[in-house]
Amino acid sequence: MTGRTPPKKKPFSWRSQAFRGLLYQIIAIVAIGLAIWFLAHNTATNMRVRGIQSGFDFLSSAAGFDIGESLYPFDSGEPYWRAFLVGLTNTLRVAVVGIILTTMLGTLIGVGRFSRNALVRGVCTTYIELFRNIPILLQLLMWYLLFTELLPESTAPIVAGPFFLSKGGLNFPIPVWALGHWWAAAGLLGGVLAAWIYRGRAVRHFERTGQPRSLFWVPVAIVLACGFLGWLLGGAPTVLDSPRQGEFAIEHGGALTPEFLSVLLGLTMYTAAFVAEVVRGGIQSVARGQGEAASALGLSQGQTMRLVMLPQALRVIIPPMTNQYLNLTKNSSLAVAIGYPDVVSIANTAINQTGRAVECISVIMLVYLSTSLATSILMNWYNARAAIKER
């Protein structure tokens, strides 16, 4: 029987899938390249015609504007790159504090939705629906209005112990920095090290004998005790720099500006509503039988939560939680609307002063892209730790 020979494969035929794929890709690359070339060419021409300077050399010239608040001193004679650095630290400051607060508040509200108390459930649900259905920008504006219009003047602040709240912001006591605080910090560090060693021993002890040792309270006690010991060794400095009522404003102590407080509160309360939903979804994703099986084994309610429910819920929670952290960081860019000097606000001022829109916008994008990337890497690492250990 003479078999039919299969048709010879022609490498450059329209009928070959590989060839078609190659062709599509070449077309796509050429189209993207042409589009980029077109835009770049237009930009270059436009800038030449309008006499717009380009390049990043302006970063080293004097900024010429003051910044309302910064972690370290800055004056208008310093170069632009220092101003951007101030903006970056301000962004990171509000984002990091916001992430910590929003995690706590969001978890509380998310767990609250499972409460046996209908009142607690109702309050949590109302909070979530209210805060996530109103734009964050509007919330920021409202907080800012609250802080700058409705609070009393700084000559007659609301006083709660050593805390002063007024249009000038929140003033609070800070410890006067002394050598003893270095000792305390060193003690804390030593405590963390000791707790780590204790933890390792406790885990090995558990694996050898099956007898559990406390893995939370004892390490916490070790860390606190070491810190306290360091503080005592350093001479136990207790001098506090408390805010006082001055003639025009509140003097001394630490201070948070109304801008910072509005951005922080707005971002925290808005994102907490989303975090609460993430936490709720995570807890709901753990099968009911898991909790029942745990109590059948005689685990206490706390142990059930810590050893059975949470480790499984975390797997579901972490990826969307990462997204919420990134959203919070990106939303901190709205600080520009109320005059908190974050990196976008600084870039906006720089655009208005130098006209170098392309450069300043690329700085913004670079900052946020690298922050997003860093957060993703960190959370992916944590996620890999929490993920199911499979073959």
Partner 1 sequence: MAAQTFQPIPPRPAPVNTEGPLAWIRANLFGNWMTSVGTVVLGALLLWIVPQLLSWALFRAAWAPNADACRLDGVGACWGVVAEKYRLITFGRYPFEEQWRPLVATVLMVGLLVASCARPFWKPWLALVWVAVLGTFFTIMFGGVLGLSRVETDRWGGLPLTILLASLSMAMAFPIALVVALGRRSNLPAIRSACTVYVELIRGVPLISVLFMASFMFPLFMPQGFSIDVLIRVLVGITLFAAAYMAEVIRGGLQAIPKGQIEAAATLGLSYWQTQRKIVLPQALAIVVPGIMNGFISTFKDTSLVTIVSLYELTGAMGLALNSDADWRPFKIEGYLFIASIYFIFCFSMSRYSHWVEKQVNRSKLR
Using the rule CB under 8 A, which residue among 125, 155, 284, 372 binds partner 1? 372
Cβ-contact 191, 227 below 8 angstroms: yes
Measured CA distances, 288 to 110, 285, 294 (Å): 17, 9, 10
**Nearer of residues 38 and 216 to partner 1, judged by Cβ:** 38
Shortest distance, position 189 Cβ to partner 1, whole Å = 35
**Nearer of residues 115 and 300 to partner 1, judged by Cβ:** 115
Using the rule CB under 8 A, which residue among 13, 21, 193, 206 binds partner 1? 21
Shortest distance, position 60 Cβ to partner 1, whole Å = 22
**Nearer of residues 116 and 391 to partner 1, judged by Cβ:** 116
Shortest distance, position 130 Cβ to partner 1, whole Å = 7
**Nearer of residues 188 and 344 to partner 1, judged by Cβ:** 344
Element (H, E) at 241: strand 240-241
Question: What residues form DSSP beta bridges with 158?
Answer: 165
Shortest distance, position 40 Cβ to partner 1, whole Å = 9
Site string for partner 1, 104-143 (x = CB under 8 A): -----------xxxxxx--x-----xx-xxxxxxx--xx-
Query: How many residues touch partner 1 (CB under 8 A)?
Result: 55
| d(C-alpha 333, C-alpha 174), whole Å | 29
Secondary structure of residue 174 in the 3-state scheme: strand
Structure tokens at 294: 């745990």
**Nearer of residues 279 and 334 to partner 1, judged by Cβ:** 334
Cβ-contact 185, 178 below 8 angstroms: no
Shortest distance, position 264 Cβ to partner 1, whole Å = 17
Shortest distance, position 229 Cβ to partner 1, whole Å = 37
Measured CA distances, 197 to 163, 185, 203, 218 (Å): 39, 19, 10, 12
Site string for partner 1, 299-338 (x = CB under 8 A): -------------------------------xx-xx-xx-
Instruction: Name, in order, each residue with C-beta under 8 angstroms of 210's C-beta and a sequence gap of 6 or more.
Output: none
Measured CA distances, 118 to 115, 121, 123, 273 (Å): 7, 5, 9, 19
Using the rule CB under 8 A, which residue among 71, 240, 287, 373 binds partner 1? 373
Secondary structure of residue 158 in the 3-state scheme: strand
Shortest distance, position 291 Cβ to partner 1, whole Å = 18
Shortest distance, position 1 Cβ to partner 1, whole Å = 27
Site string for partner 1, 24-43 (x = CB under 8 A): xx--xx--x------x--xx
Shortest distance, position 251 Cβ to partner 1, whole Å = 29
Segment 41-60, which members bind partner 1 (CB under 8 A)?
42-43, 45-47, 49, 52
Q: Is 357 in the site for partner 1 (CB under 8 A)?
A: yes
**Residue 199 buriedness (CB in 10 A; 0-12 / 13-18 / 19+):** middle
Using the rule CB under 8 A, which residue among 92, 111, 229, 351 binds partner 1? 351
Alpha helices in the chain (DSSP H): 17-50, 80-112, 118-132, 136-145, 179-209, 217-233, 258-285, 288-296, 301-303, 310-331, 343-354, 357-386
Shortest distance, position 373 Cβ to partner 1, whole Å = 7
Instruction: Name, in order, each residue with C-beta under 8 angstroms of 144's C-beta and a sequence gap of 6 or more.
Output: 258, 259, 262, 338
Cβ-contact 168, 182 below 8 angstroms: no
Residue 123 exposure: Cα atoms within 13 Å on the Cβ side: 9
Name the residues that contact partner 1, by CB under 8 A. 21, 24-25, 28-29, 32, 39, 42-43, 45-47, 49, 52, 115-120, 123, 129-130, 132-138, 141-142, 145-146, 149-150, 330-331, 333-334, 336-337, 344, 347-348, 351, 357-358, 361, 364-365, 368-369, 372-373
